[in-house]
Amino acid sequence: MRLLALVTLAGVLAIASSAQAAKRAENHFGSIYIDHKKAGLIHYTVEYDENGEVETLRTRASLSILGIKLFNFEQNLREAWHKGELQNLLGRTDDDGKIYNASLARQPMQYQGALNDKPVELPGKAFPASVWHYAIINQTLLFDLKDLTLMHVKVTRADDSLTLNQRTIPTQRFDFSGDWTASVWFDQNKMLVQFQYSVEGHQVRVQLDE
């Protein structure tokens, strides 16, 4: 059962931010729901440079179904960014016993790296499927953070509102179609608040804690 597309998304990962005054780090936590039932957790740490740009991002996600380990999924990612562009990626995903060790390094015209020790090259214009990064809304070519698969997408935008913890907030909703079908919600500060998609007949939702 491959509900793992889920955390790849979740794993997924970088954040757009407004200018910050000094170098600092932030911890963020979220919950993963499958068919409206809580099934996993995600934790990511973002490090910003002196200009408020994302410098590194480390993510850990785990997942179970209804508290029962019907399958095992764990993902650890480390991303290094500079001026809004991914520079390096190191990832290890355990997809129910199938291991994906991924690495990428940005070159002048493309990304070069490896997946399970096999060479991989991706176009320089490809953007990671990092739903935490607001710039994803302007992309038409993404790549999966688990197995580095390229995905051609279209994006549409709509104003929306979400009720989280009994509080309704205005959001922007972005719907992705094509090789990747998903919906992503950002608040007025362009910070991710929710991500959702369907796989194998199940609804998967990732919601950020306040």
- pLDDT per residue as tens digits for the range 14-49: 333 333 346 788 777 888 887 887 777 777 777 777
Q: CATH number, domain at 93?
A: 2.50.20
Q: Are 41 and 30 in contact (CB under 8 A)?
A: yes
pLDDT: is 124 or 132 the higher one? Answer: 124
Whole-prediction pTM value? 0.78
Please answer whether residues 183 and 197 qualify as being in contact, where contact means their C-beta atoms are separated by less than 8 angstroms.
Answer: yes
* pLDDT at residue number 21: 45
Q: Tell me what pLDDT residue 81 has.
A: 85
Q: How far apart are CA 107 and CA 36, in angstroms?
A: 42
Q: Provide the pLDDT confidence category of residue 13 given band limits of 50, 70 and 90.
A: very low
Higher per-residue pLDDT: 96 or 186 = 186
The residues near 93 (Cβ < 8 Å, ≥ 6 apart) are: 4, 8, 11, 73, 74, 75, 76, 99, 100, 102, 146
pLDDT of residue 9: 42
d(CA 53, CA 22): 10
Asked if the model's pLDDT at residue 65 lies above 90, the reply is no
| pLDDT of 148 over the 90 cut | yes
DSSP state of 92: E
Contact 121/107 with Cβ under 8 angstroms?
no
Confidence check: pLDDT of 124 > 60 = yes
The boundaries of the domain holding residue 204 are 5-208
Q: How confident is the model at residue 61 (pLDDT cuts 50, 70, 90)?
A: low
* CA-based nearest residue to 143, from 155, 153, 133: 153
Whether the per-residue pLDDT at 173 is higher than 90: the answer is: yes
Q: Does residue 4 have a pLDDT over 60?
A: no
Q: What is the mean pLDDT of residues 96-109?
A: 93
Indicate the number of domains in the chain: 1
CA 103 vs CA 37, 54, 100, 134, 165: distances in Å = 33, 19, 10, 23, 37
| DSSP three-state, residue 138 | helix
Backbone angles phi, psi at 94, to 5 degrees: -105, 100
